[in-house]
Structure 1
């Protein structure tokens, strides 16, 4: 048996040339890449709220006290179906909260005229001036 006097040498791997090649390939792919615009829906994003040209917010005191009468003579107020007997109390309560608010009555073509007249009379009895009571046809 023969003993080696020299210690075993460790093999070294030089990674520098490989890293150079990787960076060159990366730069090549970035430069030669083509960007395509994907087709799809375009989104209209709201603009920044801090712009100077925004209209002032609507005055909540002048928001109308609205009643909607549909073809089946159901009366709605603030997206709730109400009874004709509660109309006077609603007008009284909201006219105290918003004294500048007009009363708007939207009636469908087939609605009873009597319901429109009762809401109109209730508004007059509470003290809403005639010029602030508006009766309009309901849009389809």
Structure 2
């Protein structure tokens, strides 16, 4: 007795849908990933434990008071506008970018006012930015 044999076809795997899914996942991950951005300003945060302050021959010092008004090298600005601050810093530095940039902010000054000064320093190209602090009184 002769039995009829069934023909077995070769199994083929279609990879196209899998590749489409992988590419879709790759594109999704690339679009949702945030890349770290390096800071434009190098900050030197001084210790407040009695380290003697460094003396610089030429520096620009921007003071921020508790009401948000600015003073550049002791000259008070008439407004709190960023454009006036930029003009005053350019005049005080004669467009030199390698000077020490010191931010002296009142303890009650808002964070926004201090960040605005840092942003202006970054826009003008200063890389030596220092935030001044005071040495706390010791209770011996």
Bin of the TM-score, shorter chain as denominator length? 0.3 to 0.5
Q: Looking at secondary structure, tell me which structure has more helix per residue.
A: 1
Q: Which has the higher contact order (CA 8 A, sep 6+)?
A: 2
- Pick the structure with greater CA Rg: 1
